[in-house]
Amino acid sequence: STAIDQLRAPCTIVHDVLEACKEWVQPGTTTEAIDAKVHALILSKGAYPSPLNYHGFPRSSCTSVNQVVCHGIPDDVPLEDGDMVNVDVSCYLNGYHGDASRMFAVGDLDDAGQALIRVTKECLDEAIAACGPGVNIAIIGDIISDLAHANGYGVVPTYCGHAIGRDFHMLPYIFHHRNNAQHLLQTGQVFTIEPMLIEDGSVDSHVLPQDGWTVVTNSGARSAQFEQTMVVTEDGVEVLT
Ligand code: MF3
Ligand code: CO
């Protein structure tokens, strides 16, 4: 079977794990407990969690709460009512990786947090809708930055989407801020789009020195992210996750 057929299995597992997270993300639950369930479900399907030991990452998923932009390490701090959390799930099966993430509101999230989540999802969906064979990937940054800025949000320029397949992160990288990339998508190419938006319009972040992974906003404002893995088809893209 083709590479795309092989890719469907890890991508479907990632989708199913994120669906299960809807039930697992609750006030009082720790991100460590969620990660343990993510890990167990991935292994039960015969797959391997791509983040585990990836450049030394210590867990099977990334959990990024409130002002954490990405690469949060699951820990023993209970989620609180009103938090927002991104769960980023990736796995390896059949020689291929799949990768996706979603935001989850913990209990009763304020209206501003819900709006940040909604617009970040719209940024991803509108970028996906614009992709197809012959499309320059720079359009992804145009669409995401226009919609984010219209809502007063900043687009994190430091972390990007990526081609994916036999390796977790492959070229070309996909930027979410306005950029001058010159790469035309080709039928069969597989890649992610994964915009990170910051609530106060700022764009700067830093890695916490104590763990070398957790990326937080410099301003302390909240951040949201959604990610999908997709393949370029004859007339657009098909989301695999
Ligand atoms: N899943 C992330 C991405 O979207 C990568 C996480 S790498 C890790 O590309 F090591 F931090 F897990
Ligand atoms: Co990714």
| Closest listed ligand to the CA of 90 | 1
Ligand 2 centroid distance, CA of 33 (Å): 22
Ligand 1 close to Cβ of residue 54 (< 6 A): yes
Task: Please give the number of the atom of ligand 1 that sits closest to the Cα of 227.
Answer: 4
Query: Which residue lies with its CA nearest to atom 3 of ligand 1?
Result: 99
Residues contacting residue 239 through CB under 8 Å, at least 6 positions apart: 128, 228, 229, 230
Residue 1 has pLDDT above 80, yes or no: no
pTM of the model: 0.98
Structure confidence by residue, pLDDT tens digits, 13-49: 999 999 999 999 999 999 999 999 999 999 999 999 9
Ligand 1 centroid distance, CA of 62 (Å): 7
